Amino acid sequence: MASQIGPNHSAQAPSGPVAPLCEALVRAFGEFVIAVDSKGDIQTLWTSHRTEQLESGAAMTGWRLSDLLGEEAESTCVGSSGRVLESGKSRDHVFSVESHDGTRWFLFRALPASDASGQAKGLILIARDVTWTKVQTDRLLHSEALLEQAEEIANLGVWEFDFGTGEVRLSRHLLRLYQIDSQEEWTEEMFFGNVCDEEQQRAKQIVQQARAACGSFGFASRYRMRDGRTRVHTVRGIHVRGEDGQPVRAIGVLQDITDQARAAEDLERLSHALMQARDEERRNAARELHETAGQSIAALKMSLGRLRESLPEKGCAPALALLDSCFELADEAAREVRTISYLMHPPLLDEVGLGPALRWYADGFTRRSKISVDVDIDENLGRLPQDHETTIFRIVQEALTNVHRYSGSRMALIRLSRNDGHVRAEICDKGCGLPSPSVRGRNEPLGVGISGMRERVKQLNGTFEIASAPGRGTSICVVLPIPHSNN
């Protein structure tokens, strides 16, 4: 190669950001070092690889830096040489070369060169192929950019906490969610201090228990922001064990779900309003049915009675038989209207309360279905708030309907009790039970009726549980808190 190098060689002509000769040198040696005087003349060239090809490097004496690098790259390097010599600090420049196998990237590091007296006399240029490093760095930056975009879309941030050093690392979007400017502002005390008071202790206990067990944790809480707003955050994390088995750090995510929480609250309020409206509509429809159709049937029976009185006993046997049949039909219609009216909303529920209404309903259910129903109600049950009585009555209705339709049980039990400011309702049968998740599919819901029960209980801040096993029957348990005014 040295025999082909000369200041007038055609390969020295600049091409693009870096001259072809510089590209050839970098490709051949991977890295090399050039000593340049203050005028830009090359003093020597050295490489740690394949030095045998540079034995004639002295022949490069007198070359200009522009011959090697090209005018554009030489201008950049020489333009910074004054700053390098003045500051005594190195400066880096990255240049690109377009070739048949794509873009190659080279790093040129300029350092000040001094003589024996310490007087700055020129530059030392270190050239190195950094294509692989730059490609990997660009990929990493691209991945980080995608991650940050994903965090913004999901409105979440990533965090990591080192227990040994106390160092915390937060993603940029998490800093924005916390409304802080730097990692140093975040501490555990700051976080828990901004969790709403009634939720602080619960959140701390969840984290402490998970740390003691070196396990995962998760919770949702309301968080006070610096601008005075309250946001809803979910926090999820896992602990990482050290060599001694103890947790050394925790990593996780925080997500702002305020909009989803508000939408869920609005949906719950709407659902509750719809249930109340439906119950009120049933109450009104039952009353209208009783007062209109019931009264009309009663009037019809009176008219039929007067008609019968007007007919002679003799000579009218066919008419009297037909009239008796009309009486029977009118009685049957009256009973049907009364039953439908009571099933829609029994007057007993409003007039004397839940206990008598359930006993009446159980008796009628037994007559209609031939399923024996035992009713066990505490003597101290008393009256409950209207919403509570309506909710329990509707749940019993739905549960007994399911017993009749699906369970195959010939008996059922209704048990009601009241203590410690709660009312507890249980409905049990000895039927076939509910199918296991593996049979019906883990994501397959149990049914609209059960979903409706859950929703009613949720509206009153109660708990709803189902215990069932194939062939062993089903038990539904509902516990509702009673307002203090009704205790």
Task: Provide the pLDDT for residue 7.
Answer: 35
Q: Is the pTM of this model over 0.85?
A: no
Q: Is the dihedral of CA 307, 310, 316, 320 positive or negative?
A: positive
Homologous superfamily assigned to 152-256 = PAS domain (3.30.450.20)
232 within 8 A of 258, measured Cβ to Cβ: yes
What is residue 166's three-state secondary structure? coil
Q: How far is CA 293 from CA 306, 338, 420, in A?
A: 20, 9, 44
Q: How far is CA 485 from CA 9, 58, 386, 421, in A?
A: 102, 103, 13, 10
The hierarchical CATH code for the domain 2-129 is 3.30.450.20
Domain boundaries, the chain: 2-129, 152-256, 265-345, 353-487
Task: Provide the pLDDT for residue 486.
Answer: 67
Q: DSSP secondary structure string, 418-467?
A: EETTEEEEEEEE-SS-PPPHHHH-TTS---HHHHHHHHHHHHTT-EEEEE
In angstroms, the CA 292 to CA 297 distance is 9
**How many Å separate Cα 408 from the centre of its chain?**
40
Q: DSSP secondary structure string, 209-247?
A: HHHHHT-EEEEEEEEE-TTS-EEEEEEEEEEEE-TTSSE
In angstroms, the CA 470 to CA 474 distance is 9
The hierarchical CATH code for the domain 353-487 is 3.30.565.10
Quick one: tokens of 477? 């348990």
Per-residue pLDDT tens listing for the chain (487 residues): 333 333 333 333 333 445 666 666 666 666 778 887 777 777 777 777 654 444 444 445 567 777 766 666 666 665 555 566 666 677 777 777 776 677 778 887 888 877 667 666 777 888 888 888 888 888 877 777 777 787 888 889 899 999 888 888 998 889 888 888 888 888 888 889 899 988 999 999 999 999 999 999 999 999 999 888 999 999 999 999 988 888 999 999 999 999 888 888 888 788 777 877 877 887 778 777 767 777 788 788 888 888 878 888 776 788 888 888 888 888 888 888 877 877 777 888 888 899 999 998 999 899 989 999 999 999 888 899 988 998 999 999 999 999 999 999 999 999 999 988 899 999 999 999 887 654 444 444 455 678 888 988 988 999 999 998 888 899 999 999 998 766 6
- 353-487 and 2-129 share a CATH fold: no
CA dihedral (198, 204, 206, 209) in degrees, to 10, reads -150
Task: Provide the pLDDT for residue 445.
Answer: 47
Task: Provide the pLDDT for residue 2.
Answer: 32
